[in-house]
């Protein structure tokens, strides 16, 4: 059976992005945390949102219709 070689933790580059905004789900002024460039999670209610920048920054909730499989493998 083939085993994938494990990389040392020092080879992983991960950075978190934290922003503030108004959550479209809970309507609270909240912080959003992200490990990918465009997908954010509301710290208050846990809603997954996608960030759109079109003159102003807007957070749009991710639904099953517009959601692609988001997999974070750590």
Q: Bridge-partner residues for 39, per DSSP?
A: 50
Q: First and final CA of the chain: distance in angstroms?
A: 23
Do 68 and 60 touch, CB atoms closer than 8 A? no
Has this prediction a pTM greater than 0.85?
no
How far apart, in whole angstroms, are the C-alpha atoms of residue 48 and residue 64? 11
Per the model's pLDDT, the better-predicted residue between 66 and 15 turns out to be: 15
pLDDT reading at 1 higher than 70: no
| Residue 60, helix vs strand vs coil | strand
pLDDT reading at 70 higher than 70: no
Q: For 29-69, how does the pLDDT look when each residue is reduced to its tens digit (9 = 90+)?
A: 999 998 787 788 999 998 888 887 776 677 777 765 545 55
User: What average pLDDT does range 6-14 have in this prediction?
Assistant: 65
Total residue count of the chain as it appears in this document = 74
């Amino acid at each position: 059976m083939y085993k994938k070689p494990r990389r040392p933790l020092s080879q992983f580059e991960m950075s978190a992005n934290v922003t503030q905004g108004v959550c479209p789900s809970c309507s609270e002024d909240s912080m959003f945390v992200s490990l990918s460039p465009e997908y954010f999670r509301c710290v208050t209610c846990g809603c997954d949102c996608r960030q759109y920048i079109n003159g102003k920054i807007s957070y749009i909730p991710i639904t099953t219709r517009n959601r692609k499989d988001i997999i974070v493998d750590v």
